[in-house]
Every structure is written in C-alpha cells, then in structure tokens.
Amino acid sequence: MKNFKEQIRKMIVVAIGILVAILPFMGTAQSLPSGMEVAIKTDERNDGANVSRKLTMELIDKRGKSRTRETKAFRKYFGKERRTAIFYEIPSNVKGTAFLVYDYPDANEDDDQWLYLPALRKTRRISASNRGDYFLGTDFTYEDIKLESKLSVEDYAYTTIGKEVIDGHETYVLEGVPINAETANELGYSKTKAWVDAKNWMIRKGEFWDVAGNHLKTTYIKDIQQVQNIWTALSVQIENHKTGHKTNFTFSEVDYTTVIDDDFFTQQTLVRGL
C-alpha cells in the first residue's frame, strides 16, 4: 500500500510539473489571433479611396553601385476593385515606362496587369503565371508591388507563431504558406513570414523563401506615419540574399484627399503618359 501511495504521489507531482510547464504556452496561444484574422486585418485596413504620391526607387547592386528612378504613383478604388498606376519620369532612358494593375475583388478572377515599354512602343500584359517575376530591376515582384503593405488572403494559409517587438512596436509574427504548389510557383515563394503591427495592422518586416526553400529576401518598413489620418509606409527597404542586390522605395508628396481622374487608370494613359 505504501509503495502504491508513493507511486500515486509521484504521478501527481509529474502531472503538476507538466501542467506548470505548458500553462504559459496555453495562455499565449489563447491570446494570439489566428493568422488569417491578422491577414484580413491588413487587407481591410483603411488606405484611402485614392492616393497620389511620388515614388523614388533606389537600386543598389552587390558592389554598392546605386541607380535612382523617379516615378509618380496613383491608386484608386472603383467599388471594391483597386487600380494602381505607376509612371516613370527620371532618368531619361526609362521615362515613359508605365505599369497598370486592376486588382479584382473576386478571388477566382485573375488580376489584370500591363507594362508599357516606350523603347518597344509596346504594352505587355503580365499574366498570373508571371506575377512572381521581378519588377523592372527591383527586388519586388509584380505581386509585391500590387499588394503594397497588405497580405494576400487568397494565396496563402497563415499561422500566427508568436509575438515580437520590432523597432519598439509589438507585432504578431505570421508564417504564410502558399495554398498549393501552382500558387507557390507563380509567386516564387515557398514560405513567408510577416511581422504585423498589433495596433495599426501595418507590416513592419517580411521574410521570403524561394520555391527550393532557400532564404531569399528580407523586407523592412522603416518609416510608418499617419498622413491625413491614414497609416502610411514612407520607406520600404528590401535585400535579396541570393544576389546581394538591394532596393529602397521612398514615398513623398502623399495625398489622399485630391480626387484622381478615372482616366489615369486606362491603357490609353499608360501609353500616352501623364
């Protein structure tokens, strides 16, 4: 009987020890929102009915040589459809280049994307299978440009894996995995991680792995401010670990209040320019 009681006592001690060990993790798991919940928060975040801004692109190769592109960028909602247009102005060898995106709300409908190259006097349509290609010498893909500072809720399954402080701000850490192999090949990523601000739902950092599972890129959003009461990323830096190339995007002259003419978002204006 004594030995039996001793065994029971030991079992209780072990059970209490296990419970004490896992309680902190149980509490953490219960306090974390789901990955899809956070992703939807980024997607539904107010980014204005329309916006115009100046976008400076700095491209830095692995030797540290820098090239700069000056553009004007516009975005406007047509109902739930989001349209984005970017027009290159400086330097002269890329002036007139333009990019147009129609981002449809229906997840079953492929977005339309067009690129106008003045040297060829030709508009090229970007198909869904090419959306993982790099955008005009930058380290952003066509899909990255389209998403801006939001997460795709159609292409990934997300898991919240923890909390972390980034630049003094509490963030939820999300791991994203493409919903299938076809989507992974289109996007060029097998996995992503995003650090999402727990208060304003802005992404503050991102990590990307290529389809072979290699660590490919890191993105930093360094300057997030409220512009006309809308949270806005003013500086985005991305480093390609595979090539050693870096891209810096700097936004200025941001204006959410001036209504943009619908004609800015047509293929005719893409070719004609501003």
pLDDT digit string (tens) for 86-137?
Answer: 999 999 999 999 999 999 988 788 899 999 999 888 999 998 888 999 999 9
**Dist. CA 198–CA 194, nearest whole Å:** 12
What percent of the chain stands above pLDDT 70? 89
Residue 7 half-sphere exposure, CB side, CA atoms within 13 Å?
4
* Average of per-residue pLDDT values in the chain: 90
pTM value is: 0.85
Segment (H or E) for 17: helix 2-31
Query: Which residue would you say has higher pLDDT here, 25 or 195?
Result: 195
Start-to-end CA span in the chain (Å): 92
List domains and CATH numbers for the chain: 35-272 (2.50.20.10)
**Which residue reads 């700097």 in tokens?**
250
**How many other C-beta atoms lie within 10 A of the C-beta of residue 103?**
18
Cα gap 161→165, rounded to integer Å: 14
* pLDDT for position 31: 86
| 165, pLDDT greater than 80 | yes
- Banded model confidence at residue 52, pLDDT cuts 50, 70, 90: very high
Residues 6+ apart with CB under 8 A from 243: 62
pLDDT at 274 over 90: no
